Amino acid sequence: MRTADAPPPARSARTLPLRAGGEQERGAGIGFTLLALDGAARRGRLTTAHGSVETPAFMPVGTQATVKAMTPAAVAATGAEIVLANAYHLMLRPGPERIAAIGGIHKFMNWPGALLTDSGGFQVMSLAELRQVTENGVVFKSHLDGSRHELTPERSMAVQEKLGVDIAMALDECVRYPASPEDTRRAMRLTIAWAERARAAFPLLPGRGLFGIVQGGVDRNLRTECARALAAIPFDGFALGGLAVGEGHELMIQVVAHTTPLLPAEKPRYLMGVGKPEDIVAAVAAGIDMFDCVLPTRSGRTHQAFTRQGEINVRNARHADDPRPLDPDCACPTCQGHSRAYLHHLAKSEEMLGAMLLTWHNVHYYQELMRGLREAIVAGKLDDFRAAFAERRAQGDIPPLN
Amino acid sequence: MRTADAPPPARSARTLPLRAGGEQERGAGIGFTLLALDGAARRGRLTTAHGSVETPAFMPVGTQATVKAMTPAAVAATGAEIVLANAYHLMLRPGPERIAAIGGIHKFMNWPGALLTDSGGFQVMSLAELRQVTENGVVFKSHLDGSRHELTPERSMAVQEKLGVDIAMALDECVRYPASPEDTRRAMRLTIAWAERARAAFPLLPGRGLFGIVQGGVDRNLRTECARALAAIPFDGFALGGLAVGEGHELMIQVVAHTTPLLPAEKPRYLMGVGKPEDIVAAVAAGIDMFDCVLPTRSGRTHQAFTRQGEINVRNARHADDPRPLDPDCACPTCQGHSRAYLHHLAKSEEMLGAMLLTWHNVHYYQELMRGLREAIVAGKLDDFRAAFAERRAQGDIPPLN
């Protein structure tokens, strides 16, 4: 567990580990070391300006520079080594200059670990009004106050650089699902052009990296074209974007399994916005190293808890008198100290502590899932892990007490 | 700081310290030891079934069995040794039987320290609809669902006993302020009659105590009559109720200073629902040992922070770029890890972490204030403390940068 008392991370290029990729001479970027393989699944380690990250890794989402309802110390206590924030939101409020003046996003939010920001492409698509996409970039109105903004690949890089993130994402164009083949192809090719501009604009700094984002919808040919084009650009890692947008688990995993072999094996791979525990397990088996999703945190604010035996809603009356924890096998503070009956009471009473305790439990559950996956890969037993995981999830919640 | 790992409290009457009062032979009730005096101010120690409490003490309010926006570990980390909950709320939801079945309120809310419940008298007055007061008790409709309930002195004792609290409060009748002399007198005399019934109904248990509540509005003669009548009943402590309801600081302190000498010196005195830092300091000087108030927690949810130099609202634009903590002299985790600029951002973004961090800071501020008062009494320097406290509070917030 990280604490605020940890020594400052090494900033000298010489102290960085050798990168698995071919750009060690540059002395810049993040490190990635593959430690073990099990089929297509990979066990690795990222090295950033703010510590290392064991992969496969799940990044809790801290959109507005806070993982909702959790203190940074609680996030670290779950085992999370990297969190995600959103350049779109922070660009609009409080503004990257303000965060830079405070000393960067790590100091701003008191998070000493690694941090990745999304570029804003997805948020412009999903949140902003009146967006206009041109070759140059995207013009949109803020969802906060209607003010007009322009986001270009270069502006997105400048914002993320000012924030001082460990991993920046290239600006991409996301299309809604379903989209026509023409729209999907056009957006994918624009994403490639923007990726080249992003790489040129983002500085080479030790411990700081830039990922490109593969688009192309659910069309394998478009995914192939995009992955090959991006693989030729010296990114520090590659993300799969435009998935988990409504296409369903099977199709998503098919696209993932199709795309990962097209990406450089020595670079980390990040499946954006995914997902349910089942999605993560299948995507790890298909060669993904990094994930983010609002599910554990958002569910925590809607009374939903993840357990090894499936999801439960603590508002359900069956929990009102249940003295047992959410998950008898869970070591999180919520399960160690609080009964379902108490969590039910907090939910019915709309007390903030209910959201706090459920969020902590859910993020802990996700980190525990990732620990299990990492151990299984090292042991060469990912298939066994997947079978046991699926069997237990299918059991459903523990039976009620009489 | 208490932790959940602390050994279970001693339950045997023999292991309880001798009580300052005259009922040691009973082997029941809570202990209270006077350690030092400074004028009318008292430095003492309560001994309960769930640990000791250094006085003067401030009890954070956990109305619904949760100190809003704080984990029990965070509450304990501020130095709080006793919290307050409300029998009225818990009687209506989740019900005392449910809490008893879980193992009592301490286990229910995972709070290992001492706990006091208000009897419900004040809440029936302020929250319930269609209340009807008779000699027997009060009939009212629940503010939650309109269901009809009756609260008698005996029922209130049964509820608090089922909850398993360390300190129960006798049922009183509160009148609104201002009230006519006739209404105030009638309610005060009913409160005395109910106090006798409460004492008869509440069991004698080691480490568990019952306090009577002095009523009588701002009429000194009525306060005298009530205090003398209650002092003749073997309570474990005495509260002053019906204050901080609109009468103002000066009048409140006058009534307090008038009443405390009428109460047994060897028993703890609790000023209910008080208050602002200035109120607490003045009331300690007038001989009060215990306080509770929603101010630190409620303020934390409305962007207000207490500092040694007065209150501030972090939503104010002057904090947007301020890298300094709320209070440069504060050792709480909020001030140790987070700038005003970040707290301002959380407030503007309506992020839950803002309420969490401000509440933690405010409860820490109140506990620090009580530590200062306790040390000043022991040193015989309460007057100096009061002067320095008033001077610094009058300074106002630290000047803006630039």
pLDDT confidence band for A129 (50 / 70 / 90): confident
pLDDT at A130: 72
Q: Select from A249, A247, A246, A316 the least CA-distant residue to A277.
A: A249
Find the mean pLDDT for residues A72-87: 98
* Four-point Cα dihedral B397, B398, B399, B400, nearest 10: -90
Percent of chain B with pLDDT over 70: 93
Q: Which positions in chain B touch A112 (Cβ < 8 Å)?
A: none
Which of B4, B344, B352 is nearest residue A352 as measured by Cβ atoms? B352
Residue B270 has pLDDT above 90, yes or no: yes
pLDDT at A369: 98
Q: Select from B235, B175, B150 the least CA-distant residue to B201.
A: B235
pLDDT at B401: 86
Residue B9 has pLDDT above 80, yes or no: no
Residue A212 has pLDDT above 60, yes or no: yes
pLDDT confidence band for B124 (50 / 70 / 90): confident
Phi, psi for residue B199 in degrees, rounded to 5? -60, -40
The span from the first CA to the last CA of chain B, in angstroms, equals 40
Which strand ranges, in their side-by-side order, compose the sheet holding B167-169?
Answer: B57-60, B290-293, B269-271, B237-240, B209-214, B167-169, B114-118, B82-86
Please provide the average confidence, as pLDDT, over all residues in chain A.
93
pLDDT confidence band for B27 (50 / 70 / 90): low
Which strand ranges, in their side-by-side order, compose the sheet holding B31-38?
Answer: B31-38, B41-48, B51-55
Alpha-carbon gap: A320 to the closest alpha carbon of chain B (Å): 8
What are the pLDDT digits (tens) for A155-197? 999 999 999 999 999 999 988 889 999 999 999 999 999 999 9
Alpha-carbon gap: B63 to the closest alpha carbon of chain A (Å): 10
pLDDT at A27: 63
Residue A26 has pLDDT above 90, yes or no: no
CA atoms within 13 A on the CB side of A228: 7
SS3 A298: helix
Cα B185 to Cα B171, B179, B218, B251, distances in angstroms: 16, 10, 11, 18
Cα B202 to Cα A222, B96, B198, distances in angstroms: 77, 15, 6
Residue B26 has pLDDT above 60, yes or no: no
Q: Are B60 and B359 in contact (CB under 8 A)?
A: no
Q: Is A397 a catalytic site residue?
A: no
Two tokens, residue A59:
């990044």
CA dihedral for B52, B54, B60, B61, sign (positive or negative): positive
Residues of chain A whose beta carbon is less than 8 angstroms from a beta carbon of chain B are: 4, 64-66, 68-73, 93-94, 98, 101-103, 108-110, 320-321, 323, 333, 336-339, 341-342, 344-346, 348-349, 351-353, 355-357
The span from the first CA to the last CA of chain A, in angstroms, equals 39
Which of B323, B348, B356 is nearest residue A71 as measured by Cβ atoms? B356
pLDDT at A127: 83
Residue A9 has pLDDT above 70, yes or no: no
A227 vs A126, which has greater pLDDT? A227
Please provide the average confidence, as pLDDT, over all residues in chain B.
93
CA dihedral for A109, A330, A285, A177, sign (positive or negative): negative
Length of chain B: 402
Q: Are B13 and B28 in contact (CB under 8 A)?
A: yes
pLDDT at B22: 39
Q: Are A242 and A207 in contact (CB under 8 A)?
A: no
Residue A210 has pLDDT above 50, yes or no: yes
B393 vs B365: CA distance, rounded Å: 13
Q: What is the DSSP string of B155-187?
A: HHHHHHHHHT-SEEE-------SS--HHHHHHH
Return the active site residues of B. 118, 292
B278 vs B369: CA distance, rounded Å: 10
Instruction: Test A353 with B73 for CB contact under 8 angstroms.
Output: no
A365 vs A245: CA distance, rounded Å: 23
Residue A2 has pLDDT above 70, yes or no: no
pLDDT confidence band for B25 (50 / 70 / 90): very low
Q: Which positions in chain B touch A349 (Cβ < 8 Å)?
A: 64, 66, 93
Predicted structure pTM score: 0.93
For an interface test with A, give the residue of B88, B314, B336, B356 to mutate (most A CBs within 10 A).
Answer: B356
Single-letter code of the amino acid located at B86: N
Q: Fill in the DSSP letter of residue A15.
A: G
pLDDT at B121: 85
Find the mean pLDDT for residues A91-107: 98
Residue of B nearest to A342 (CA): B108
For an interface test with B, give the residue of A351, A359, A360, A361 to mutate (most B CBs within 10 A).
Answer: A351
pLDDT confidence band for A128 (50 / 70 / 90): confident
Cα A32 to Cα A40, A206, A209, A282, B118, distances in angstroms: 17, 13, 11, 22, 59
Alpha-carbon gap: B114 to the closest alpha carbon of chain A (Å): 17
Single-letter code of the amino acid located at B60: P
Alpha-carbon gap: B230 to the closest alpha carbon of chain A (Å): 36
Q: Which positions in chain A touch B65 (Cβ < 8 Å)?
A: 342, 345
